[in-house]
């Protein structure tokens, strides 16, 4: 029996496991196999998105583990996201039902607006339509109806800045439970985390290891001498130190890997705690540089990354 990890209570009463398994850029057989491995290891929080084009494989893996009796539906916390092409309020429900069909589930635990900028809808197969001016506030009100219908348990945001979150909060009948953003020691999002904490919103950290490039020994917080010393001090890997850091500064990281050993390593971060001094050392890696820039959308009025946080 795998060891289960602590959960974080969300503002709607849901309990979200404090580390998740990411599936961005995991395609077809990789996605299905790695999600099965993750569930066997103990992960109970699985993150996907319509835009990743792997909901079907993620759902197959979850349903295989349900059929085997490894998990019950209430044990697993499934997150997926509304694509930019589905921002029009009239097609939000259609988009959600399509994701449910892909996943072969009767409800989604958490459904997020993937990015504040919408796109024109042509078809579900066309994910690269031109940008639209649909207001994400209108999209949010359509998301709230999904909760009313019982299709989703919680709704949230992804890649939203503090001003945009506030705009949603100002009109929300149902509050966002999370904001999923890029977050790692090189881009630690401490101001946004603090803003979200004040508003009882949890930050989920994607790219928690900043898409490493081992051949270039990058990023430094995985490869330099300081990172290696910290890893030795705790008898852990530098990746485990990073994930523990992100948990302790108040996020839920969702590392992604297709290697079973690495998937297990990323999960094994709950038997130690960094000291305040070592948190301070990790803070020094922050340089404010994103690895996921969405730069092609930077001129849009709803582009989120032109403000400080």
Q: Could you give the CA distance from residue 174 to residue 151 in angstroms, rounded to a whole number? A: 14
Nearest to 87, CA basis, from 15, 38, 135: 135
245 is catalytic: no
Q: Is 74 exposed, middle or buried (0-12, 13-18, 19+ CB in 10 A)?
A: exposed
Nearest to 282, CA basis, from 236, 309, 237, 243: 243
How many degrees, rounded to 5, is the angle at CA 201 between CA 199 and CA 203?
Answer: 130
Report the chain's C-alpha Rg in angstroms: 19
Cβ–Cβ contacts within 10 Å for residue 130, how many?
A: 7
Q: Where are the alpha helices (DSSP H) in 117-237?
A: 136-148, 162-171, 190-198, 220-223, 225-234
What residues form DSSP beta bridges with 184?
Answer: 187
Element at 12 (helix H, strand E): none
Q: Could you give the CA distance from residue 252 to residue 206 in angstroms, rounded to a whole number? A: 9
Q: Could you give the CA distance from residue 229 to residue 77 in angstroms, rounded to a whole number? A: 35
Given 52, 206, 245, 285, which residue is catalytic? 52
Sequence-ordered list of residues with C-beta below 8 angstroms from that of 295, at least 6 positions apart, any chain: none
Q: Where are the alpha helices (DSSP H) in 26-175?
A: 28-41, 55-68, 92-103, 136-148, 162-171
- Would you call 218 helix, strand, or coil by DSSP? strand
Annotated catalytic residues are 52
């Amino acid at each position: 029996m795998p060891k289960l990890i602590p959960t974080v209570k969300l503002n709607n009463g849901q309990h979200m496991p404090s580390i998740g398994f990411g599936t961005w850029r995991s395609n077809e057989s990789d996605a299905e196999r790695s999600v099965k491995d993750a569930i066997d290891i103990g992960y109970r929080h699985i993150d996907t998105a319509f835009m990743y084009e792997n909901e079907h494989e993620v759902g197959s893996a979850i349903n295989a583990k349900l059929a085997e009796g490894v998990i019950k539906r209430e044990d697993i916390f499934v997150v997926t996201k509304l694509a930019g092409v589905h921002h029009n309020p009239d097609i939000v429900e259609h988009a959600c039902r399509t994701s449910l069909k892909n996943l072969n589930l009767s409800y989604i635990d958490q459904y997020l607006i993937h990015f504040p900028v919408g796109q024109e809808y042509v078809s579900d197969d066309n994910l690269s339509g031109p940008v639209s001016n649909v207001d994400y506030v209108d999209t949010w009100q359509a998301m709230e109806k999904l909760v009313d219908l019982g299709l989703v348990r919680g709704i949230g945001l992804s890649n939203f800045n503090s001003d945009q979150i506030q705009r949603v909060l100002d009109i929300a009948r149902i509050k966002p439970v999370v904001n999923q953003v890029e977050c790692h020691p090189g881009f630690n999002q401490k101001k946004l985390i603090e803003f979200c904490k004040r508003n009882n919103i949890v930050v989920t950290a994607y790219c928690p290891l900043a898409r490493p490039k081992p051949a270039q020994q990058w990023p430094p917080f995985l490869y330099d001498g300081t990172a290696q010393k910290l890893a030795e001090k705790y008898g852990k890997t530098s990746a485990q130190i990073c994930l523990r850091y992100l948990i302790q500064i108040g996020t839920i990281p969702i590392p992604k890997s297709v290697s079973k050993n690495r998937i297990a390593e990323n999960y094994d971060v709950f038997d130690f705690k960094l000291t305040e001094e070592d948190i301070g050392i990790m803070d020094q890696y922050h340089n404010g540089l994103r690895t996921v820039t969405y730069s092609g959308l930077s001129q849009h009025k709803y582009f989120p990354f032109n403000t400080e946080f």
